[in-house]
Amino acid sequence: MTSSAGVVDALGALAVPVALLIGIEPKTAWLLSVLWVLKVVPGIPGLRQLRRVLVLESGPLVSVLVIFLMVVFLASVAEYFLERDVQPQTFGSVPAALWWAVVTLTTTGYGDVVPVTPLGRMVAAMVMISGLGVFGLWTGILATGFAAETRRDNFLKTWESVSKVPFFAALGPAAIADVTHMLRTMELPARTMIIRKGAQGDCMYFIAAGEVEVDLPGKKVQLGEGAFFGEMALLGNNKRGANVSTTKVSRLLVLDLVDFRVLMARHPDLAETIDAEAKRRTLENK
């Protein structure tokens, strides 16, 4: 990673001077500074995830690409054959017909090269419909890969944190794997409002790292690592009862209402712990 960053740096820094040195005119040489844009690449969020999808699904993606190229090739030869006499200007060579085929199969359709003979238009119609098919296959492959990757990624991020929350420590490893699939990790900067009083509540939070402050009437309560909050809204009245915000950079685990209910049903002991804590808090704040 570090070495490839160095190559990009060198490429960005040296491209312009080198171009100037070897005698390319300045107006063109300066364009090469566009290579600095490549510096952005490692910072793109989720890029690693996208790359993994592309690698894992490379087999079917390449096979769609090959089909794409074959359609382009056969269609352009057919159109060259059908249109060259009528439009020697635009369909006069196979490369020109190839250009038409790519523009058509991707459904871009500039309109600079258009078949006019009835047979040529029939071939074109088939190319366009194939274009929809290629789109569909491509998307289907990427959607499938992406769904799997998202689940995997979330699991990896969440697993670490779950095992650190004492609340879940009582669960066996199989149950922890189960719980991990239900939770979502959320990274928050300091002084961020998490819950707004009076809002509709549909999830509860566990603190994996950091600290939050609950703004109760007359006092402020700090909750640290391993604590949970927001459970009241899931246990009957679904309006949030107090503002909650982070005091430092925090990592929270979010449990949706849906999964809260499934979890409580499967692990009645967790349900009791949450219930007991909720009652204790209600009494305390009366």
Q: Write the CB contacts of 132 (distance below 8 Å, at least 6 apart in sequence).
A: 107
Q: How many residues bind its own copies (CB under 8 A)?
A: 88
- Per DSSP, the three-state class of 183 is strand
Report the nearest approach of its own copies to the CB of residue 266 (Å). Answer: 6
For residue 109, which phi and psi values (nearest 5 degrees)? 60, 65
Tokens read off for 154: 């979330």
Site for its own copies in 205-244 (CB under 8 A): none
Binding residue for its own copies, selected from 15, 19, 79, 80, defined by CB under 8 A = 80
Task: Single out the residue of 14, 31, 119, 190 in contact with its own copies (rule: CB under 8 A).
Answer: 31
Which residue carries 């190559």 as its tokens? 7
* Total length of the chain: 286
- Considering the complex, what minimum distance in angstroms separates the CB of residue 216 from its own copies? 24
Residues 6 or more apart in contact with residue 220 via CB below 8 angstroms: 213, 214
Question: Among the candidate windows 13-21, 112-120, 206-214, 215-223, which touches its own copies by CB under 8 A?
Answer: 112-120
The one among 34, 119, 170, 190 contacting its own copies by CB under 8 A: 34
Q: Does position 125 bind its own copies by CB under 8 A?
A: yes
Could you give the CA distance from residue 110 to residue 131 in angstroms, rounded to a whole number? 15
Residue 45, judged by CB atoms within 10 A of its CB (0-12, 13-18, 19+), counts as: exposed
Q: Is 132 in the site for its own copies (CB under 8 A)?
A: yes
Supply the minimum distance, in Å, between the C-beta of residue 230 and its own copies.
Answer: 16
Q: Which of 18, 62, 86, 119 binds its own copies (CB under 8 A)?
A: 62
Residue 108 interacts with its own copies (CB under 8 A): yes or no: yes
Q: Is 107 in the site for its own copies (CB under 8 A)?
A: yes
The smaller minimum CB distance to its own copies, of residues 227 and 263, is found at 263
The torsion angles phi and psi of 64, rounded to 5 degrees, stand at -65, -40
| Window of 14-22, 167-175, 209-217, 219-227 that interacts with its own copies by CB under 8 A | 167-175
103 binds its own copies (CB under 8 A): yes
- 224's tokens: 């640290």
SS3 state of residue 208? strand
Contact status: 156 vs its own copies (CB under 8 A): yes
